[in-house]
């Protein structure tokens, strides 16, 4: 207790002194912007232990699928005359769309929670004091959050695919087009052209001129839409009536993952930017169920390009044909009906990537510059 200032003498024998290289591995790892596996797993633990959040995730992903499929299986079991098999294509499309709608919302909720929980609980400053790069702290939340969301959506979608595969309805022998005109299935565009040439009367009924086409507006009476448009209608009908093929299911699964991933990353970025969990959640739910349906459905003069900047509009355009709304109306939640002319593929991809990058950069920047 009466020794001179210990700075001038070696530190006590039990531990490493500041000059000893034993700390070097720690120091080498600190400051690196990439999150470590431990950081990701503990962040995952932090999110996973939020009971309310996890219940909400289950309620909005797996529970609806289980409930609807279970009821449909039971109804079909007890009253097959009135209730078709649970694996019917329209059931598949309805539940997949429901999962997409709920998936985006819950992803936004989880993202906003991941972006704000350290701040709101007052732990952020203690994480910063560890010397860990703030960027690494931000990046660790991405795999941690997605590791909760993607499995939940995958389980829901996997159950749906299983039921669709094993409890499907008998496959029709033809694609039923307008006026219940049967058209042979699995045609490509050239084969459809040949079929229309060979069956002009049926083709005129199956593909009548003047029908309203989503995104293109009404076609002038008397004009026959091109074969490309007829083929698009044919494919849409085929997807609606036929059990989706495995590759189609995979495509839908990837689209669902993308939808959930966008919701999470935007929620994370917005949450980190504002530091307000509730505000971020409200804004993203509003975007999903109010703003996007309006922008996607109604062309606004001189603002078409602005409408296309909405990520929901881009995702609706990317929506697989098997999930297209029947009858052209909006899907559950209001989305799905693209009432504006579609944008080029590059523009669509740019909008999606732009939303992910911009919100991630904003969130990370705010986290790196925020007073802790």
Asked if 213 is part of the footprint of other proteins (rule: CB under 8 A), the reply reads yes
Sign of CA dihedral 364, 366, 369, 372: negative
Chain mean position to CA 370: 29
Pick from 34, 67, 190, 216: which binds other proteins (CB under 8 A)? 216
Asked if 56 is part of the footprint of other proteins (rule: CB under 8 A), the reply reads yes
Q: Please provide residue 311's backbone torsions phi and psi, each rounded to the nearest 5 degrees.
A: -65, -30
Nearer to other proteins, 56 or 193 (CB): 56
Per-residue mark of binding to other proteins, 153-182 (x: CB under 8 A): ----------------x--x---xxx-x--
Asked if 275 is part of the footprint of other proteins (rule: CB under 8 A), the reply reads no
Nearer to other proteins, 96 or 273 (CB): 96
Write out the DSSP string of 252-314: HHHHHHHHHHHHHHHHHHHHHHH--HHHHHHHHHHIIIIIHHHHHHSPPTT-HHHHHTSHHHH
Query: What b/e sequence results for 158-176 when a residue is b if at least 16 CB atoms lie within 10 Å of its CB, and e otherwise?
Result: ebbbebbeebbbeeeeebe
Nearer to other proteins, 258 or 289 (CB): 289
Asked if 358 is part of the footprint of other proteins (rule: CB under 8 A), the reply reads no
Considering CB under 8 A, how many residues would be counted as binding other proteins? 120
Q: Which of 56, 65, 70, 73 is nearest to 95 (CA)?
A: 65
Asked if 211 is part of the footprint of other proteins (rule: CB under 8 A), the reply reads yes
Sort 204 into a burial class: Cβ within 10 Å, 0-12 / 13-18 / 19+: middle
Measure the CA–CA gap between 146 and 284, rounded to whole angstroms. Answer: 17
Running DSSP on this structure, what letter comes out for residue 218?
Answer: E
Sort 188 into a burial class: Cβ within 10 Å, 0-12 / 13-18 / 19+: exposed
Asked if 332 is part of the footprint of other proteins (rule: CB under 8 A), the reply reads yes
Nearer to other proteins, 187 or 232 (CB): 232
The least CB distance from residue 104 to other proteins, in Å, is 11
Measure the CA–CA gap between 255 and 249, rounded to whole angstroms. Answer: 10
Nearer to other proteins, 245 or 358 (CB): 245
Interface with other proteins by CB under 8 A: which range of 147-155, 264-272, 299-307, 326-334? 326-334
Three-class SS state of 182: strand
The least CB distance from residue 364 to other proteins, in Å, is 16
- Sites for other proteins among residues 79-118 (CB under 8 A): 81-85, 88-91, 94, 98, 101-102, 105-106, 109, 117
Asked if 12 is part of the footprint of other proteins (rule: CB under 8 A), the reply reads yes
Nearer to other proteins, 166 or 358 (CB): 166
Interface with other proteins by CB under 8 A: which range of 43-51, 158-166, 186-194, 350-358? 43-51
Asked if 15 is part of the footprint of other proteins (rule: CB under 8 A), the reply reads yes
Asked if 272 is part of the footprint of other proteins (rule: CB under 8 A), the reply reads no
The least CB distance from residue 145 to other proteins, in Å, is 15
Interface with other proteins by CB under 8 A: which range of 16-24, 151-159, 256-264, 358-366? 16-24
Q: Kindly list the distances between the CA atom of residue 64 and the CA atoms of 48, 108, 261, 357, in Å, as whole numbers in the listed order.
A: 21, 18, 20, 31
């Amino acid at each position: 207790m009466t020794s001179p200032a210990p700075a001038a003498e070696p530190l006590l024998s039990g531990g490493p002194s500041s000059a000893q290289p034993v700390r070097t591995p720690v120091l080498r790892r600190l400051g690196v912007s990439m999150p470590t596996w431990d950081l990701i797993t503990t962040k995952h633990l932090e999110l996973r232990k939020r009971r309310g959040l996890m219940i909400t995730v289950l309620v909005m992903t797996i529970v609806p699928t289980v409930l609807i499929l279970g009821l449909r299986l039971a109804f079909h079991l007890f009253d097959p005359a009135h209730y078709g098999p649970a694996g019917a294509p329209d059931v598949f499309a309805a539940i997949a769309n429901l999962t997409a709608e709920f998936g985006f919302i819950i992803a936004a909720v989880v993202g906003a929670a991941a972006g704000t929980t350290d701040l709101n609980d007052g732990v952020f400053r203690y994480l910063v004091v560890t010397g860990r790069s703030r960027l690494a702290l931000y990046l660790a939340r991405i795999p941690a959050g997605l590791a909760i969301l993607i499995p939940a959506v995958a389980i829901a979608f996997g159950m749906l695919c299983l039921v669709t595969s094993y409890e499907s309805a008998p496959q029709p022998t033809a694609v039923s087009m307008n006026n219940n005109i049967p058209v042979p299935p699995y045609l490509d565009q050239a084969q459809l052209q040949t079929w229309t040439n060979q069956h002009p009367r049926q083709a005129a009924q199956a593909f009548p001129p003047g029908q309203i086409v989503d995104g293109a507006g009404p076609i002038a009476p008397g004009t026959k839409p091109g074969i490309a448009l007829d083929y698009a209608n044919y494919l849409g009908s085929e997807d609606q009536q036929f059990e989706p093929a495995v590759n189609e299911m995979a495509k839908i699964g990837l689209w669902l993952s993308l939808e959930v991933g966008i919701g999470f990353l935007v929620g994370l970025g917005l949450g980190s930017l504002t530091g307000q969990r509730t505000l971020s959640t409200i804004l993203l739910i509003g975007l999903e169920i109010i703003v996007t349906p309006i922008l996607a459905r109604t062309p606004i003069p001189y603002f078409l390009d602005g409408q296309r900047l909405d990520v929901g509009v881009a995702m609706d355009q990317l929506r697989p044909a098997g999930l297209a709304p029947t009858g052209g109306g909006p899907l559950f939640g209001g989305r799905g009906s693209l009432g504006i002319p579609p944008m080029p593929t590059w523009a669509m991809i740019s909008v999606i990537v732009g939303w992910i990058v911009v919100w991630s950069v904003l969130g990370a920047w705010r986290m790196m510059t925020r007073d802790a």
